[in-house]
């Protein structure tokens, strides 16, 4: 797609994303990370999708120091002021005795990492010299690599803002965390490849459109960071993603939100509905689209949302959908029901709020009425007879 064909609201004379992932290291003293390669592939697919990110994506997986430096140098070389550039790095972030940050590459040597890695200050200088006025840097670093087997405190931190803000303008930095020792890869069941919690929620928010918090059809960097922060908190993650901005005006839109489901124009019931998107758990990625009525969540086969989870009761909770609000009622479950990390007995579920039941996290999205930009998908109606009956699960 050329700049002439591109969505004018999305913007960017040219949109280029460089995705760097380093998880395999020649030096055995640097712990291998399984997540970066998978994360990079999923993010590249999302960013490169013309209906979502519409970026020209360049992927560098387990590259050497020279390969990574050349790729970064090329990203910022001879760019136009109206270009939008995204640099993503996943791998070990190494902090030296002077507090300087370095990004590990495949051939980084732990004992000489300042000489065999990519110095973050060098990256900042490349950005300073780049004419582009819209640059987004996304860091998903495992900082523990610098202090493995050391006595450093968990309170040690990396000065991300001081390192990358530099002297330029139009710069945004989003980091998974600033803490050196925080957990980085998510625990996964046997046979399921591990993923970074941070990057998983970035991909989820962009690919499903749930990071479009104001429902205007686009995801900007502030919405993306807010969405990822809330999602990690809801599933009990210890990371707190941070964002810093420097001298840019307006909204920096990083993606278009995919078209969302709504009620078909025909069929009688044209009231606004809600959607529950499963953010985490065995049903992750599935959607439940609701009309006004009552829907059950639990372990029994006749529950609308059936969860095969020992921490979920047979009849765990009821979701009551009205025209303008959604209420969640706990049905005396053993392990409780939470909304946004607060245990409840009965409470209203806010827009983009999250229900936590056992190991499953569901996010509420209010859908638009017919006639808007959305397209129809399969929807679930509550039964017309007794209100507490099951319905069918529909996948995207």
> Quick one: CA torsion of 210, 214, 216, 222, rounded to 10 degrees?
-80
In this prediction, what percent of the chain has a pLDDT beyond 70? 74
**Can you list the pairs that 51-55 forms with residues at least 24 positions away whose Cβ atoms lie under 8 Å?**
51/256, 51/258, 52/206, 52/207, 52/255, 52/256, 52/258, 53/15, 53/17, 53/206, 53/254, 53/255, 53/256, 54/1, 54/6, 54/7, 54/10, 54/15, 54/255, 54/256, 55/15, 55/16, 55/17, 55/86
Place of tokens 């996304």: 138
Assign 388 a pLDDT band (cuts: 50, 70, 90): very low
Evaluate if residue 66 carries a pLDDT over 50: yes
For the stretch 93-133, pLDDT in tens is 888 888 788 999 999 999 999 999 999 999 999 999 999 99
Assign 178 a pLDDT band (cuts: 50, 70, 90): low
Least confident of 120-129, 190-199, 292-301, 347-356: 190-199
For the stretch 137-154, pLDDT in tens is 999 987 643 333 332 223
CATH of 274-366, one of 2.60.40.10, 2.60.200.20, 3.30.70.260, 3.30.70.1290: 2.60.200.20
Least confident of 226-235, 328-337, 349-358: 226-235
For the stretch 242-269, pLDDT in tens is 888 876 666 789 999 875 544 343 344 4
Neighbours of 176 (CB within 10 A): 29
Evaluate if residue 289 carries a pLDDT over 70: yes
Q: Which CATH class is domain 15-147+156-182+192-256?
A: alpha beta
Evaluate if residue 35 carries a pLDDT over 50: yes
Q: What is the pTM of this model?
A: 0.67
Domain boundaries, the chain: 15-147+156-182+192-256, 274-366
Q: How far apart are CA 324 and CA 292, in angstroms?
A: 9
Domains 15-147+156-182+192-256 and 274-366 share a fold: no
């Amino acid at each position: 797609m050329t700049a002439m064909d591109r969505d004018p609201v999305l913007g960017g004379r040219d949109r280029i994303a460089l995705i760097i992932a380093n998880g395999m290291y020649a030096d055995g003293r640097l712990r291998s990370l399984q997540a970066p390669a998978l994360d990079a592939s999923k993010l590249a697919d999302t960013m490169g999708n013309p209906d979502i990110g519409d970026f020209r994506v360049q992927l560098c997986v387990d590259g050497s120091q020279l390969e990574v430096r050349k790729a970064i140098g090329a990203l910022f070389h001879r760019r136009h002021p109206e270009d939008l550039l995204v640099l993503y790095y996943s791998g070990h972030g190494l902090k030296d005795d002077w507090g300087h940050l370095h990004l590990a590459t495949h051939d980084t040597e732990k004992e000489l990492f300042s000489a065999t890695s990519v110095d973050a200050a060098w990256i900042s200088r490349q950005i300073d010299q780049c004419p582009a006025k819209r640059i987004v840097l996304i860091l998903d670093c495992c900082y523990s690599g610098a202090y493995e087997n050391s006595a450093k405190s968990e309170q040690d931190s990396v000065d991300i803002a001081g390192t990358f803000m530099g002297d330029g303008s139009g710069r945004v930095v989003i980091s998974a965390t600033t803490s050196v020792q925080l957990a980085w890869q998510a625990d996964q069941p046997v046979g399921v490849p591990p993923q970074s919690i941070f990057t998983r929620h970035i991909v989820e928010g962009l690919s499903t459109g749930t990071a479009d918090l104001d429902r205007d059809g686009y995801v900007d960097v502030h919405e993306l960071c807010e969405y990822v922060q809330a999602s990690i908190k809801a599933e009990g993650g210890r990371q707190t993603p941070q964002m810093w901005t420097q001298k840019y005006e307006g909204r920096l839109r990083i993606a278009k939100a995919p078209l969302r489901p709504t009620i078909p124009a025909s069929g009688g019931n044209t009231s606004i509905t809600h959607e529950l998107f499963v953010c985490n758990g065995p049903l992750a990625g599935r959607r439940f689209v609701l009309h006004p009525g009552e829907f059950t969540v639990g372990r029994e086969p006749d529950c609308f949302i059936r969860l095969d989870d020992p921490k979920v009761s047979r009849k765990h909770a009821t979701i009551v959908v009205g025209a303008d609000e959604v209420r969640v009622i706990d049905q005396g479950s053993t392990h409780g029901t939470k909304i946004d990390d607060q245990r409840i007995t009965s409470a209203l579920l806010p827009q983009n709020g999250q229900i936590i039941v056992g190991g499953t996290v569901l996010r509420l999205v209010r859908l638009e009425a017919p006639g808007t930009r959305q397209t129809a998908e399969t929807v679930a109606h509550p039964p017309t007879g007794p209100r507490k009956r099951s319905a069918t699960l529909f996948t995207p």
